Chains A and B, each alone.
Chain A
């Protein structure tokens, strides 16, 4: 059973517009969430994280929103740039556990 789900395998957005990537989770034990960006043949690169005690975290063009009651989080990229084209993974963890549970990823394409 998937504990972290990214239901959209792909998303296409025009340059300059907003990209919204969504993630749902089922495990109430998760107390922090992360977003990673991945290019082909490279390891994932950390983008932004959020603790379960917050509902929003912002870093430059990237904002993550957390809705605990809905067990849903989203990553907003504004404005989107062609260099943002990559696969984005949502991940969740809890306590001092070192393992992260990843979603299957959403491939974002930003068109010029």
Chain B
């Protein structure tokens, strides 16, 4: 069974640009969550999608958005990038509540 796949693995963007990250969950998993990891802050929850609907949202500004497609694949978008958005962005998929399986992440660097 293929794991969670995130693309791209690495990305460099300049301030003010926008970026789209992609996540393909494990087959059969309908819940996809996104997390931001920065040094010293651990993993912070961005949002969760279930059956194409945003079910939960963390405490991030509106520049961070996402969506989920009918095949459960998900994208997250960050507009007007700031230097502080540099982080490892992790996607996780879950079959039901509980255990989340993570992808390898997308390392975003904003310069």
Contacts and interface: CB of A to CB of B under 8 A. Distances in A.
A43 B102 contact: yes
Given A32-B97, A43-B90, A104-B41, A98 B102 contact: no
B102 A105 contact: no
Contacts of B15: none
Interface in A71-102: 89, 91, 93, 95-102
Interface residues of A, number: 24
A103 B90 CA distance: 15
Contact of B33 (A46, A100, A103, A105): A100
B102 A45 contact: yes
A46 B105 contact: no
Contacts of A66: none
Contacts of A59: none
Contact of B43 (A41, A45, A89, A93): A89
A98 B94 contact: yes
- Contact residues of A: prevailing secondary structure: loop
Nearest to A46: B99
B98 A32 contact: yes
A97 B56 contact: yes
Contacts of B42: 89, 102-105
Interface of B: 4, 6, 31, 33, 35, 40-45, 47-48, 50, 55-56, 58, 88, 90, 92, 94, 96-105, 107
15 contacts: A34-B99, A34-B100, A41-B105, A43-B4, A44-B102, A91-B43, A97-B55, A97-B97, A98-B55, A99-B45, A99-B58, A100-B100, A102-B42, A104-B41, A105-B42
